[in-house]
Amino acid sequence: MSVATLKPATSFPIPEGMFAETVTQVQHYDDRLFRFRITRPASFRFRSGEFVMIGLPNAEKPVMRAYSIASPAWDEEIEFYSIKVPDGPLTEHLQRIRPGDTVLMKKKPTGTLVLDALVPGKRLYMFATGTGIAPFASLIRDPETYEKFEQVILCHTCRDVAELTYGFDLVRDLRADPLVGEMAGGLIHYATTTREASNRMGRQTDLMESGDLFAALGLPVISAATDRGMICGSMEMLRDTKAALEGFGLEEGSNSKPATFVVERAFVG
Ligand code: A2P
């Protein structure tokens, strides 16, 4: 279905338990990735790192998908970062949204990538591939992250350099922000590519296991005594990163049982 055949928002009633919000900004990075912002309902509360189900008002029963909220809890708008899946039931249409369009959002956010699910520590490692950086875009802009951790290491691996743009823009804007820039002094951005030459190459899982990641940053090898982890990426990446952290002696936690690392359980790519 092309954008021309998309029914306007008013054609279908807003399903129960959902907000209908207005798109305020859309930025396309390339033919695979884009970011967009929507208005935030006054009653919508979430913890940085959580996800929410979103969809479009283009059917009686709209297709809804889990999206990590990329904006921090204090932001007056909600930001999402998305891949464009060819023929994807939602992203096929979502990639065509423009400012003024309506996006549906379920009322209850949830998720495991929250600070409450980790026991206290000195350093927080965020492991992301591709659009898995989204929940960390929220967390690195949240002052609570820096209140709880002296150092925050954002690891981002993508196939090529262009896909790292969102992360580089994010960190640059954060450091320049007059309100939150100063608090982010402990933030380290470690970005690697796997399929295009760059000054850091390789999967972060391999670089962690070989020790190159720690050597490059001048940090001690990850340890359960001082370090905490959060993981967001494809199913294979979650599995491999979890195994690597367990190899370093860390244990998976949850909201009900905080421990030394957490894995995004809803992320679908
Ligand atoms: P690679 O190019 O070696 O497959 P994708 O776009 O397929 O989701 O991949 C995003 C990034 O995640 C790519 O750089 C990819 O590397 C990397 N990746 C894929 N699978 C894993 C994994 N199991 N562990 C770590 N990184 C992975």
Q: Give the model confidence (pLDDT) of 130-143 as tens digits.
A: 999 999 999 999 99
- Atom 24 in ligand 1: which residue has the minimum CA distance? 237
Separation of CA 97 and ligand 1 centre (Å): 28
Q: Whose CA is nearest to atom 16 of ligand 1?
A: 194
Q: Is the CB of 196 under 6 A from ligand 1?
A: no
Map tokens 């954008």 to a residue: 3
**Which CATH fold topology does 115-263 show?**
Rossmann fold (3.40.50)
Cα 83 to middle of ligand 1, angstroms: 14
Q: In whole numbers, what is the pLDDT of the chain averaged over residues? A: 93
pLDDT of residue 243: 98
* Residue 6: per-residue pLDDT: 52
What mean pLDDT do residues 242-267 have? 93
Name the pTM for this structure: 0.94
How many whole angstroms separate alpha carbon 67 and alpha carbon 87?
Answer: 18
**Domain-by-domain residue ranges, the chain?**
2-106, 115-263
Q: Given this model, what pLDDT does residue 1 score?
A: 44
Q: Ligand 1, atom 5: nearest CA belongs to which residue?
A: 130
pLDDT for position 118: 98
Instruction: Find the mean pLDDT for residues 19-36.
Output: 96
Please tell me the distance between residue 205's alpha carbon and the centre of ligand 1 in angstroms: 10
CATH class of the structural domain 2-106:
mainly beta
237 Cβ closer than 6 Å to some ligand 1 atom? yes
pLDDT > 70 in the chain, percent: 94
Name the pLDDT band for 99 (thresholds 50, 70, 90).
very high
**30 burial via Cβ count (<10 Å: 0-12, 13-18, 19+):** exposed
Q: Is the distance from CB of 227 to CB of 122 less than 8 angstroms? A: yes
Distance CA 63, CA 160 (A): 30
